[in-house]
Each structure stands twice: as structure tokens, then as C-alpha cells.
Chains A and B, each alone.
Chain A
Amino acid sequence: MATPVLEIDGLSKRFGGVAAVDGVSLSLEPGRIYGLIGPNGSGKTTLFNCITGIERRDAGRVMFNGERIDGLKPYEIARKGIGRTFQVIRVFPELSALENLLVVTRGGLADAEARALELLRFVRLEGLRNEYAGNLSYGQQKLVEFVRVLMRDPSLILLDEPAAGVNRTLLNDLLDAVRRLRDEGRTVLLVEHDMKVVMGLCETVFVLDHGEKIAEGEPGVIQTDERVIEAYFGR
């Protein structure tokens, strides 16, 4: 078995008296698409924040490509090769679509520009490259955020609700893009409420409830898991 891209061991995060993430362990292998689901408030976004260093974990370990990354600053973790999008869109509104992509790059500007234009073409926003990101539609901003992540060529991509608010045509493109990333050998972990998306895209699904991992497995198996059904629909 290959070294896991990401290995989380006993990760916990509390906010006051609430255990947002409670002793979660999971492991991601390279070149696969993983789903992270659970009811609202089950700790999915907090888990993302702990992986990317935005929240400081209280206990546990996060290993990325065999290297410990918990305790590093968010920008250091991003530079190691973890990219993420946010549940609430976080493009840079007064930077143009093109600038949104360029700003996260280092090294040669000409290469960066070529890559940025290629990515904008890919999400059909090439014509809007000089528009302020804040003036784009919700779905378009979502795409800008998505391709901005790719500018840094990350090996692990965390997507927080990529399908929410994106129309059907765009969504299919987006899902194809995620599959293509997987085919290039990258690993994707996505939080998603749209079960069709999760079931159609993910190869392994983790289920969180009240900060704890209650199930893990193939989508088909998860769907019939007693504890998962209970978490979503109650007893």
C-alpha cells in the first residue's frame, strides 16, 4: 500500500464546551476522491480548518505525505501542497478574475499568466478575466475559487461544498474536472450535502456526527449504514 497522502490520527478540536471534532482518524490514499458528509454542525468544516491550519487542533496528529503538518501556519501548509475552497466564497472581490489566480503564484510571471488563462478558459471565464471577481455571479465566483486552488498545483485538494449554488451544466463540468484531477494522481476530499454528487463521485465516504467519525466506506455501503441513517433522520 502506498504512503497515505493525508493521515489524521485522533484529531480533536473544542470550542468552549462543544467538541466540534472529537478524536477523528482517517487516511487518504493518493489518486482517489473522498467524500466527507454529516448533518449540519457535525464538524466537517472544522476538520477542514484543522487540516489547513486555520484552527489550532487541541489534540491529535495530521501527517501530509509522511510529514507532520499540525502546528504549521496556514500558508506553510498551503505551500506544502494542500489547496482548499471555502463553504462561503472567499475570492478577492476587488481583484480581477485573472489577478485572483496570478496572486497566489510565485516564480515566472509569463508561465503563471499562461496557466491562469488556460484555467479560466477551462471554466469558460476567459472573457471575464478582467472583471472584478466581486462582480461575477455566485457560480462564476465559485469557479474562480476552484481554479485558484489549482494554480498552486496541490497534491491534496479540499473542496467545501463545491456543488452548492452551481447550475447543472456547470456542475457536470466541475465534476468532470474533479475526476480529471484524480486521474492526474491528485487526491480530493470534498464536503457535500448533495448526495447525488457524493454518491456519483466519491470512492470512499467518511461520515461525521457530533464531531465523531461514525462510518467509513463505499457510498453504497454507507447509504444503508444504521448509524448514518440514524444521524440523518433520527431514530
Chain B
Amino acid sequence: MLVVALAVYPTFGTGYGVRAMLQIFMWIALAGSWNLISGLTGYVSFGHVAFFGAGAYTGAILISKASWPWLAAALAGGVGACAVALVIGYPCLRLKGPYFAIAMLGLNEVLRALVSYFEGLTGGGSGLSLPTLHATVPIYYAMAGTAATVTLLTYLIITSRFGLRLMTIREDELAAEAMGIDTARHKLYAFLLSAVGPGIAGALAARDQGYIEPISVFPLATTITMIVMVLFGGKGTVWGPVLGAVVLFVSQEFVWARFPYLHQLLFGAIIVAVVLLMPRGVLGLLQVKYRLPRTI
């Protein structure tokens, strides 16, 4: 029902409505991806928007300089983000706790500096414009597909022994090692998987907006939003990121329309409330309280 409704929505929805849905899909893909590495293994990534930016630039460069069709460029964005994750994952995933979080924060700044520096390819600080194209509806479907794929992937992982092994890293990495689990390899796999969704979403967003610049695709605020969405919905659950993305995006739009300066305050209040009152998030809380299976 919901799938059908979402599929036919662009035929009767308003321009604003379609665009808002597209944004929700994007946030589901981003939050769901952050959940794969940070919700499951407990390695908190404070620079996950780096993969979004890497995908955006990969896609935008291929579209504007090599005239790639946008769908292919979007997939290439996923591959590009994955490549970045491979290069930095190996050294960074040896770091534990706050050190990993800070290293990821640093990665984002490095990438932003790099795209600003290589002006010939990226347009530097003045940004990169893409050829005009009206493709909001096809991009809507592509973004919906990305969100659905990330959620399905999360479901498959969480209900498998691979997912349980990722959770042992969060629960007790040393014990996991001593029990024969190759934690380094598992962390890297989770990290690579968590980079693909943001990479594709970044390239799609770049195509949709038609213009990108370093500050628009590497903002720390995007990472924070992903984190808050997952924490709100329930980290380490299948539907937590979806719930968090929908609820927070809708409430943000709602508040933003009425009180332009209040939405950041609201966001801050939600962070504090979630961390203090329900660190497991909505679904995490229900899962523990009512012994719900891992499929939620």
C-alpha cells in the first residue's frame, strides 16, 4: 500500500511535496547508512557526510565533464565514496572510541579542502554547475530506490550472523577477537557498505540541485542530522533510521515554516532529550521493553 502510494505520488503531488519526499528518502539513505557502521559496530563516525560529498563530486564531475547519464554517475558516486572508505578505513578503523570519531571529522575537512584546491576539476570554492535537466521525478524514484536498498540491506545484515558479529564489536571487541571473529575485516566491510548509500545519495542530490560547492556538500550539520535521526529512531535497529528520518524531517519542515529561527533550537532540544531520556531511541526502547525481535 505504502509502496504503491509512494510510487504514484509524483503524478498528483505538488512540486513542493515531491521535493520534500525526495529529501526524506535522502535522509533515510543517509541515516540508514550511518546506522550500518555506527549503530551496529559502535564506531561513531563524525564525518559521514564526507561520503555524501565524495559521491556528489564524483557524480557531478562525471556529468559535467564527461557527459555521463545521471543514473550511471550516481552509481559511480557510490563507487567513489566506497573507494574513499577503503583508503581511509584501513588506518582509521584501528582507532577506538573518540579517536575514530575525530579522525572521521578530520577526513571530512580534508576532503573539503581537497575539492577546494583542485579548481580545474571541481571548480574550487566557486562550485560546479551541472547542465540544466528537469528530472526531479526520475530522481525521486532513484532516491526512493536508494533508501529502500539501504533499509533492505540493513534488514539482511541485522538478521544474519554477519550482523551479530558486527554487534559483538560494539558489545565487546576484545571478547569478539578472542572468540575467533576477525573484527578488523568485519569493521571494514561495514564501513564500506556504509559509504555506498551516502555516495549515491550525494550524486543524486548534486544532479537534482544542479549546482554544488564545497560548503554545500560537506557540512558537519548533515552528519549531526544523520546521527540524531538514528539516535532518535533507535540505533542498531532496522526501522529506527527510517522512523528518525521521517519524524525529524517532517517536524523540522513544520517548525521551519512557522518559526524560521526556532528549528535549530528544536533540534538541539531533541538531541538533549534523546540522549538523556532514551539513549536507545524509540524502537530500541520498545525492543528492550517488549522483547521485540531484531526485525524491527
- Tell whether, in the assembled complex, residue A74 and residue B172 are in contact, meaning their CB atoms are under 8 Å apart: no
Given contacts A99-B164, A105-B161, A130-B291, contact A78 B171 (CB under 8 A): no
Tell yes or no: B177 within 8 A of A by CB: yes
Q: Is the CB of A74 within 8 A of B171?
A: no
A-B pairs with the 10 shortest C-beta distances?
Answer: A78-B180, A90-B175, A92-B171, A74-B177, A103-B164, A104-B179, A79-B180, A75-B182, A75-B177, A90-B172
Partner of B179, one of A93, A132, A152: A152
B272 interface residue per 8 A CB criterion: no
Inter-subunit contact A152/B180 (CB<8 Å) = yes
| Contact partner, B175, options A92, A130, A152, Cβ 8 Å | A92
Quick one: which of A65-93 are within 8 Å of B by CB? Answer: 73-75, 78-79, 83-84, 86, 90-93
Chain A residue numbers with a CB within 8 Å of B262 are none
Q: Please, which residue of chain A has its CB at the minimum distance from the CB of B163?
A: A103
A84 to B174, CA, bound (A): 12
Since A94-B171, A103-B181, A152-B180 are in contact, a sample of 16 more A-B pairs with Cβ atoms closer than 8 Å, ordered by chain A residue number, is A52-B178, A54-B174, A75-B181, A78-B178, A83-B179, A86-B175, A92-B171, A93-B171, A95-B167, A95-B171, A102-B164, A103-B161, A103-B168, A109-B161, A149-B179, A152-B179
Provide 17 A-B residue pairs closer than 8 Å at the C-beta atoms, listed in order of the A residue: A54-B178, A75-B183, A78-B178, A78-B179, A78-B180, A92-B167, A92-B172, A94-B170, A95-B167, A95-B171, A103-B167, A103-B168, A103-B179, A130-B291, A132-B288, A148-B179, A149-B179
Most chain B C-beta atoms within 10 Å of own C-beta, residue among A91, A104, A105? A104
Residues of B within 8 A of A54 (CB): 174, 177-178
Q: Are A73 and B172 in contact (CB under 8 A)?
A: no
Chain B interfacial residues counted at CB < 8 A: 20
**B172-195 Cβ-contact flags toward A at 8 Å (1 or 0):** 101111111111000000000000
Q: How far is the CB of A186 from chain B (nearest CB, A)?
A: 16
Q: Chain B contacts of A84 at CB under 8 A?
A: 178
Interface of A is mostly: loop
**Is residue B112 contacting chain A, with contact meaning CB distance below 8 A?**
no
Interface size on A, residues (CB 8 A): 27
A86: chain B residues at CB < 8 Å are 175, 178
| Per-residue interface assignment for chain A, residues 128 to 164, with 1 indicating a CB less than 8 Å from any chain B CB and 0 otherwise | 0010100000000000000011001000000000000
Nearest Cβ on chain B to A17's Cβ, whole angstroms: 25
Q: Does B207 contact A (CB under 8 A)?
A: no
Residue of A nearest to B160 (CB): A109
Given A92-B172, A94-B171, A95-B171, residue A103 in contact with residue B177 (CB < 8 A): no
Instruction: Chain A residues near B179: list those with CB within 8 A.
Output: 75, 78, 83, 103-104, 148-149, 152
Partner of A102, one of B161, B172, B180, B288: B161
For A74, give its contact among B165, B167, B178, B288 (CB under 8 Å): B178
- Rounded to whole Å, the gap between the CB of A114 and the closest CB of chain B is 15
How far does the alpha carbon of A220 sit from the alpha carbon of B158 in the complex, in Å? Answer: 52
Q: Which residue of A lies closest to B181 (CB)?
A: A75
The interface residues of chain B lying within 8 Å CB-to-CB of A90 are 172, 174-175, 178
CB pair B180–A104 under 8 Å, yes or no, is: yes
Evaluate whether A75 and B180 lie within 8 angstroms (CB atoms) in the complex, with A95-B164, A103-B168 already known: yes
| Residues of chain A within 8 A of B165, CB atoms compared | 103
State A93–B168 Cα separation when bound (angstroms): 9
Q: Which of B257-296 contact A (CB under 8 A)?
A: 288, 291
Nearest residue (CB) in A for B183 is: A75
| Shortest distance between the CB of B244 and any CB in chain A (Å) | 19
A79 CA / B177 CA spacing, docked (Å): 10
Task: Please give the distance in Å from B147's CB to the nearest CB on chain A.
Answer: 26
B202–chain A nearest beta-carbon distance, Å: 32
In the complex, which residues of chain B have a beta carbon less than 8 angstroms from the beta carbon of A132?
288
List residues of chain B with CB within 8 A of the CB of A52. Answer: 178
